[in-house]
Amino acid sequence: MVEVHTPSITDLDDHNEEEPREECGVFGVWAPGEEVSKLTYFGLFALQHRGQEAAGIAVGDDDRIVVFKDMGLVANIFDESILSSLTGNVAVGHTRYSTAGGKEWSNVQPMFSTSSTGVDIALGHNGNLVNYLELRAEAVERGLIKPYEESVSDSMCLSMLLADGVDDTTSVFDAACELLPRVKGAFCLTFTDGHTMYAARDPQGVRPLVLGRLAKGWVVASETCALDICGAQFIREIEPGELVAIDEAGIRSEHFAPTQRSGCVFEYVYLARPDSDIKGRSVNASRVDIGRRLAREYPVEDADLVIPVPESGNPAAVGYARESGITFAHGLVKNAYVGRTFIQPTQTLRQLGIRLKLNPLREVIDGKKLVVVDDSIVRGNTQHALIRMLREAGAAEVHVRIASPPVKWPCFYGIDFASPGELIANANPSDDPDEMCSTICETIGADSLGFVSIDQMVAATEQPRSELCTACFSGEYALGLPTGNPHADAVRTLLGTK
């Protein structure tokens, strides 16, 4: 195995980001004779929205696996010369935003481990595990990590345990079948031994994972948009609880656990790209439908314009405008080049706040009664600054409509939300939803505020509620809560008082 990387720049990104952060995107390709590194690059480019902190590609050619990974965006890590040096028949790739494990380079994926018999494994993981401490204890007991090693992520632990299960009598496939039933939580995996591509999905199917067909091979990716960009035909989802292996013998599949669907509803609301499909439902169509339902639940009389908070609020705003008959307009311009920054902002620059990302079109909104549609409210800081900016630009009234229910609970399955006490929906201790909404409305400075209901949001996905995880809205944690996590302990206390 050869592992190469470039020196990392310390990430000094401002930590006051308001939006929920996805954890990861995974990609895998088996295509002998094709430029698998470039296919993986394009796949990761399509999945960049799922993680902007780091990225990596591992390529295998039967003899060895070469891993190239670093901190930063996909386009900044890889270039033509690097991709041309990554040659082989199989590749796995990963884009990352950390929620488990720190921001050290050692936690950038794909992870790399070697079995006692010399079998190399490179692995990418999307999701969070709730029994990480149990798995870590097992890894310590096996001598794979030292008890005092603190910076071992759940993904690294998985990689080590998988490689340790491979020996002269146990194949990678069999080792995975033995390990995965003991792994609890959310996980979509792509991994390779340099010869075969493997993919696996947790029994609940929390995060999406799809299979696509190339002219000369196969692709696995977190979302269908990644299949589109590399010219693969969508075949099907990787089923919850399924392990797939792909090589020259074809596709081998085995269910390591029974399916108990609990897909993340927030994928439809915000996480997935609008041009992806999840379980046969267009993400964009779901978001437009949420906007229609939001307009029926919380209409605004005599409004002049419906404007979205770009880009994630666009589809729901379209739906709201269509249902209400109010004119749709773009009243905010987004700076397309604002991404993660390595410059620590001064207090003066920090006061510019949302203007670094959004700026109002004064001639559009001046004197208008606005319906402003956004995807979610987490802490409320962004909405407060946005409303003030719109009023300064001349808006007569600002009525905020949110295309998801109030976020009241943190996610432990792959989204980086705030702790319960930092969520604006918990600012009012009352259980009365009207009082909560009134408190939030006053805090952000809106003339009125409305959230789509859980039932209407779920209906827009066209999936049964019993097959969707709504934990961040409802506090119903279908996969359980992790141990040894202070936020999870706080949630247990709060749930125990209800």
Q: What is the pLDDT of residues 135-150, one digit of tens each?
A: 999 999 999 999 888 7
* H or E segment and range at residue 123: strand 120-126
Stretch 186-194: mean pLDDT, rounded?
Answer: 97
Burial state string for 67-94 with b = 16 or more CB within 10 A and e = fewer than 16 = bbbbbbbbeebbeeeebeebebbbbbbb
Distance between CA 248 and CA 269 in Å, rounded?
Answer: 38
Give the CATH number, domain containing residue 312: 3.40.50.2020
**pLDDT of res. 156:** 94
Mean pLDDT of 175-201: 97
Given this model, what pLDDT does residue 442 score? 95
With beta carbons less than 8 A apart as the criterion, state whether 460 and 290 touch: yes
Which runs of consecutive H residues, i.e. helices, occur in 22-109? 36-46, 74-77, 80-85
Does 199 map to a domain? yes
In a domain, 274, yes or no: no
Residue 417 has pLDDT above 80, yes or no: no
Run of H or E residues at 229: helix 224-229
Q: What is the pLDDT of residue 104?
A: 67
Q: Tell which of 198, 226, 260 closes a domain.
A: 260
Of 260, 289, 313, the domain-final residue: 260
Whether residue 69 sits in one domain with residue 186? yes
Question: What is the per-residue pLDDT for 288?
Answer: 98
Which segment of 76-90, 159-173, 317-331, 403-417 scores lowest on mean pLDDT?
Answer: 403-417
Closest CA to 283 of 464, 95, 462, 51: 462
Instruction: Tell me: is residue 489 an annotated ligand-binding position.
Output: no
Q: Which of these, 75, 274, 105, 109, lies nearest to 187 by C-alpha position?
A: 109
Segment (H or E) for 278: strand 277-278
Average predicted confidence (pLDDT) for the chain: 90
Are residue 292 and residue 181 in the same domain, yes or no?
no
**Is pLDDT larger for residue 340 or for residue 258?**
258
Q: Which helix (H) or strand (E) holds 273?
A: none
H-helix segments, 283-355: 283-297, 314-324, 347-350
469 is annotated as contributing to ligand binding: yes
Positive or negative, the CA dihedral 161, 165, 167, 171 is negative
pLDDT at 456 over 80: yes
Residue 105 belongs to domain with CATH number: 3.60.20.10
Band of pLDDT at residue 350, cut at 50, 70 and 90: low
d(CA 112, CA 158): 10
User: What is the DSSP secondary-structure string of 341-386?
Assistant: -SSPPPHHHHTTGGGGTEEE-HHHHTT-EEEEEES--SSSHHHHHH
d(CA 447, CA 441): 7
Distance CA 137, CA 157 (A): 10
CA distances from 25 to 124, 220, 437 (A): 8, 11, 34
Query: Using one digit for the tens of pLDDT, what is the confidence trace for 147-187?
Result: 888 778 899 999 999 999 999 999 999 999 999 999 999 99
Residues 295-307, mean pLDDT to the nearest whole number:
98
Q: What pLDDT shows up at residue 23?
A: 66
Which span out of 1-5, 40-44, 378-382 was modeled with the highest average pLDDT?
A: 40-44
Count Cβ atoms below 10 Å from residue 349 Cβ, excluding itself.
12
Percent of the chain clearing pLDDT 90 (strictly above): 77
Query: What pLDDT is stored for residue 81 in this prediction?
Result: 96
228 marked as part of a ligand binding site: no
9 located within any domain: no
Q: Locate tokens 């070697």: which residue?
A: 114
Q: Is residue 20 predicted with pLDDT exceeding 90?
A: no
15 inside domain: no
Average the pLDDT over 385-402 and give the result.
96
The total domain count for the chain is 2
pTM for the full model? 0.91
Active site residues: 24
pLDDT at 10: 33
pLDDT at 191 over 80: yes
**Above 60 in pLDDT, residue 364?**
yes
Which of 275-279, 321-325, 423-427, 475-479 is the least confident region? 423-427
> Can you give the pLDDT at residue 101?
47
Residue 269 counted as domain residue: no
Q: Which two tokens stand for residue 67?
A: 């891993």
d(CA 121, CA 176): 12
- The answer on whether 157 is annotated among ligand-binding residues is no
pLDDT of the residue at 19: 59
| Residue 100: per-residue pLDDT | 47
Q: Is 312 annotated for ligand binding?
A: yes
SS3 content of the chain, % helix, strand, coil (to 5): 35, 25, 45
Per the structure, the complete domain to which residue 350 belongs is given by: 280-336+346-495
Query: Is 7 a member of any domain?
Result: no
In a domain, 65, yes or no: yes
Helix pair angle (283-297, 454-461), 10° resolution: 150
Residue 235 pLDDT: 98
Same domain, 223 and 83: yes
